[in-house]
Chain A
Amino acid sequence: MTALATVGGAALGDKLRALGAFDAETCMSCGICTATCPLGIDVLPRQLLRHAALGLEQRIRDEQEVVFSCLLCRACEQSCPAGVHIAQDIRLLRRWLLEQGGE
């Protein structure tokens, strides 16, 4: 309950959409993706997508190791009831992180 983040400002979603088809907002937080993820990392993929959808940029930067450890296997996409393009979203996050690092 302590972490305070601000949603808004320059929207992360809009920045990512400038890079490609980002659709994490379609996620309904059911968690089937996390259940099917072979890596078993706590933050993957539900929470990561949630942080991305809400535009919690610092969170994403803190979680970049997780972003890059994803295998892009798409096991999660197979069972996603909302049809979120999770692998594509993670690719876009990687690109955004890399571009950030380059600045």
Chain B
Amino acid sequence: MSERRIGVYVCQCGGNISDYVDVEQVVGAVANDPGVVVARTAMFTCSDATQQEIEADIREQQLDGLVVASCSPKLHTFTFREAARRAGLNPYEYTQVNIREQCSWTHTDDRTGATRKAMQLVRAGIARTRLTEPLEPTAVQTTPSALVIGGGVAGMRAAIGLADLGLGVFLVEREARLCGHTGELGELFPNAGTGSGLVARLLEQIRERPQIAVFTSAEVTAKSGTYGNYRAVIRAGEESIHAEIGQIIVATGFDSYEPAAGEYGYGIQGVLTLPEFRRMLDSREDLIVGGRKPESIAYVYCVGSRCEEHPYCSRFCCSAAVHASLLASDRVAGVRQYHLYRDMRTYGRNELMLSESRERGSLYLKFADGDPPEVTHDGQRLSVTVRDQLTGGDELTIPADLVVLVTGMVPQANDRLVKTLKLPVGGDGFFNEIHPKLRPVETVVDGVLIAGACQGPKTVAESVTSGLAAVSQTAAVLKRGVAELDPQIATVHASACSGCGACVEACPFGAISMIARDGGEVAQIDRAGCKGCGACAPVCGEDAIDLLGYTDGQVRAMIDALIQIPPTHPHLP
């Protein structure tokens, strides 16, 4: 009936499956399906021992197809593809059937039904496998250079890292010079050194590396091409530069939260944001407000943070405000400083600054969420009124010469770049990584990485770390010189193609073009550009497009198998 030699393994998952699915019955039901030469159960199919048994079966029984009925394909597709590969079987001859999430875990109230459904799903998997073909990944040469967008610390450090690995770099900055927020800062924490000093060092290192091409007052306006080989258009004034690149690192940074007029008295003389206060401290040696040294400074924390519009915590601002208050103590001996906070988050080593500020006389007053302090000016003096939870909710009025609104980081408005690169934007407005722990700088867009505070609030050190992580992920692709792409992509049966062009319209990646053939036109798939999404297959009126691994024939065979009534069995109703 079938010339295929298929091995079928039904997993018990140590009871996760076998408590609700009768796995022996499932094996019994499919053991005589056409093409099946091995069918058995296993306690844990993913265990090394069972994988070795599968490999032995593949070799000894000359299996040319493999079905494992176990958990979600998300968990173990690659596990068993690799087992197949080790035994000399093409990995794409493997089919995973999910009888855990789809049967035992979902139908704990119906063992008979769960077992019957498992039989149907396994039979469908076998039907698909009878029609599998060996597939080979597409190998593409990659371009050994990268585009870095954003000339702050993250982007600059990334550019230097890429250059040191022997890759060409196009570094593009929207402003007139490479600098970022860090370059405008004086003394930094937790250790000495200034922001402007750090940036000066980075600039020198960039100048020493001729393989970094810097474009300032410039923007990236277009991106095309396919994995490992992109073309970007850099617009600098009247000039357009076409850059050939293998990867893109987006390091466009953040904006500081700008309070609305009147928010905590913003707009009143003497009410400043934290960045404005830092500029005041960094621009001169002393600290003068209204022609004299201030006697009293009040800091209001969490302005524009942890609220409806910006529900997240920017993390750096507590520490930055405490640090600024220490700088102010250095400038004005005896200045009284009041910190009005919701929660102090001076994590890690920054905690030492908090202790130091207390020892130097800074006072900390805690206000409740939803009960913010009020900043007023009576014509004579600024004052801040707060109900301090640490004093039993007493209302206290603090006369102040200066009120500093401790503002956090907000996402930059970068609509054009988001559109050009199709950047994934999260609910908070920052760019999204694939996995916050394991793939922190990659995005769902192939070839586009993110680094620095465009991903979310970060300190200088964290921005540089993520910039260098993006360098390593770029090098991992570009230093090999060759990238391997998933072969499960669309393919055109040219003889059936009518040349209507409907698939060209349907492709979201621009990977289909029409080429001349036998006096007419037929569709052609760019193997590097196709992502295997399948959007083209159903719009083809001639059924001339198949998605390799999910061909029309395979899907039909699976449906036919699913609607077969499972064989009668004495234990089934």
Contact = CB atoms under 8 A, between A and B. Distances in A.
Interface string A56-70: 100000000000000
A29 interface: yes
B398 interface: yes
Given A3-B394, A25-B359, A47-B392, A14 B364 contact: no
Interface residues of B, number: 26
A7 B359 contact: no
A82 B395 contact: no
Given A14-B334, A28-B364, A1 B395 contact: yes
Nearest to B399: A8
A100 interface: no
* Interface-centre pick from A1, A8, A26 (highest chain B CB count, 10 A): A8
A53 B363 contact: yes
23 contacts: A1-B387, A1-B395, A4-B394, A4-B397, A5-B394, A5-B396, A5-B397, A6-B396, A7-B363, A7-B397, A7-B398, A8-B296, A8-B398, A13-B361, A23-B359, A25-B359, A25-B363, A26-B355, A28-B358, A50-B391, A54-B365, A54-B388, A54-B391
Given A1-B395, A26-B359, A54-B396, 4 more contacts: A8-B295, A14-B334, A29-B390, A54-B391
A91 interface: no
Contacts of B366: 29
A25 B395 contact: no
B358 A82 contact: yes
**Which 6 A-B residue pairs are closest in the complex by CB-CB distance?**
A29-B390, A8-B399, A26-B358, A3-B394, A25-B361, A7-B398
B80 interface: no
B336 interface: yes
Interface in A1-57: 1-9, 11, 13-14, 23, 25-29, 47, 50-51, 53-54, 56
Contact of B362 (A9, A23, A25): A25
A53 B336 CA distance: 12
B311 interface: no
B112 to A, nearest CB: 61
Interface string B334-377: 10101000000000000000010011011111100000000000
B393 interface: yes
Nearest to A53: B363
Contacts of A4: 394-397
Nearest to B384: A7
**Which residue, A14, A53, A56, has most C-beta atoms of chain B within 10 A?**
A53
B436 to A, nearest CB: 32
